Amino acid sequence: MGRTVKRMPDKHAFLSPSSSERWYNCTPSAWLSEQFPDLGSVFAAEGTEAHRLCEFLLHELLGIPDVDPRPGMQYYTEEMEEACQGYAQFIREKIEKWNAAGASPKVFVEQRVDLREYIPESMGTSDCVIVTDHDIEIIDFKYGMHRVPASSLQLRIYALGACELFAGLYEDINRVHMTIYQPRIGSVDESEMDMAELFRWAAQDLRQRAELAFAGQGDFSVGEWCRNCRARRTCRELAAHQLEIAKYEFKEPPLLSDEEISDVLGRVDELVSWATGVREYALQAALDGRHFAGWKLVEGKSVRKFSDDACVAARVEAAGIDPYEKKMLGLTALEKKLGKKDFQNLLADLVVRPQGKPMLVPVSDKRAELSLASVEFAANREKEVMENE
């Protein structure tokens, strides 16, 4: 199985575990997306800082010397602190569980794993790996709001790398546990599989797809993985998929069948997102000097504003008029100002959650289905309240 530990490459992996959902399902996208710069995002930078804080807190838990990153962090908030502390506590509980079972766990933080046995020139870093005599546990921290399941390719590939690294040292390991800890959406998702099954999947499936992706071969495939592809704005396969909705010839909704409406509902959000992305790409390209036939750059609508708010306030006050309005902070702003604990103690009994506005979602959504009776009751109740005001 190639379990000898190899020298780790120094450069960032071309076929990285973090982008595996894309290149595994759409193998030509690996090279296509390389033609476009990775512009990053605030969310990515925020996630990087949260991971660094998690690393520090785990080092602190394990008694490993480290430098506190918080003083130099740009996106540090109380919410981030709470999320990362929760992650550290989760790992503590995992360690205690294995200790109680007499398993003597070994904990590895930000563990580098070599994946070149199955993915050309690839490497990765697993947030936390716990190794016992019979089990390997891979725990991945996600700070984002988009739910990631424990069955994700990224986590399975991290698990594969950990097994490659440790299975030769712990010969009785036969079970792999995988966990996604995602505190901002309150999700802890777990799955497990036999190590032999993991190696079999890697040898029979992953290696073949990775080799196709590395060679820039295979067929384009449209799916949820397109969301994070840098080539999505100009990808012809994605454009053809999105424009399939034109087959309805923009009929009036009442003239569409229920099946056709279901198809439109399944496409409308991604269609809007894709079209918006194309517009943004074209605008930036035009600003860089590109010309699109039939289109030109113009100055958009401008809104009046004060050049100096302090000077405006001083002049208005001198005229005997108060330029400021006073209003109570909103719930979220007050919670942030007070801190979650004090907010809970002071205002918990005054917080209500009205019934949300009905919306259509795919049946895969985990929320309970609304009954028409409950919708009608809520509407009537709202009407009564308005009439009594």
Report if pTM > 0.75.
no
Tell whether 37 and 167 lie within a shared domain. yes
CATH number of the domain within which 152 lies: 3.90.320
Domain boundary among 240, 262, 287: 287
Tell whether 130 and 192 lie within a shared domain. yes
Tell whether 183 and 248 lie within a shared domain. no
Tell whether 135 and 282 lie within a shared domain. no
Q: Pairing relation of β-strands 106-114 and 123-131?
A: antiparallel
Tell whether 94 and 197 lie within a shared domain. yes
Residue type present at position 377: F
Q: What single string gives the DSSP state of each residue in 262-286?
A: HHHHHHHHHHHHHHHHHHHHHHHHH
Distance between CA atoms of 307 and 293, rounded to whole angstroms?
Answer: 38
Would 292 be classed as within a structural domain? no
Which of 135, 233, 237, 119 has the alpha carbon at shortest distance from 176?
Answer: 135
Distance between CA atoms of 58 and 127, rounded to whole angstroms?
Answer: 10
Report H helices in the chain.
Answer: 20-25, 29-33, 42-62, 78-100, 153-166, 195-201, 207-215, 236-242, 258-287, 309-318, 331-338, 340-347, 372-388
Which of 136, 122, 115 has the alpha carbon at shortest distance from 203?
Answer: 115
Residue 191 half-sphere exposure toward CB, CA atoms < 13 A: 14
Q: Is 141 helix (H, G, I), strand (E, B) or coil?
A: strand
Distance between CA atoms of 214 and 122, rounded to whole angstroms?
Answer: 10
* Tens of pLDDT, residue by residue, the chain (389 residues): 222 233 333 345 789 999 999 999 999 999 988 888 877 788 889 999 999 999 999 999 999 999 999 999 999 999 999 999 999 999 999 999 999 988 889 999 999 999 999 999 998 999 999 999 899 999 999 999 888 999 999 999 999 999 999 987 777 888 999 999 999 999 999 999 999 999 999 999 999 999 999 999 999 998 888 888 888 888 888 888 877 776 666 566 677 788 878 887 877 777 777 778 788 888 888 888 888 888 888 888 888 999 999 999 999 999 999 999 888 988 988 888 898 889 999 999 999 888 778 877 788 777 788 877 665 655 555 555 445 55
pLDDT of residue 387: 54
Residue range(s) defining the domain that contains residue 264: 232-287
Tell whether 160 and 281 lie within a shared domain. no
Contacts of 157 (CB under 8 A, 6+ apart): 17, 20, 115, 119, 124, 206
Distance between CA atoms of 322 and 300, rounded to whole angstroms?
Answer: 33
Tell whether 210 and 247 lie within a shared domain. no
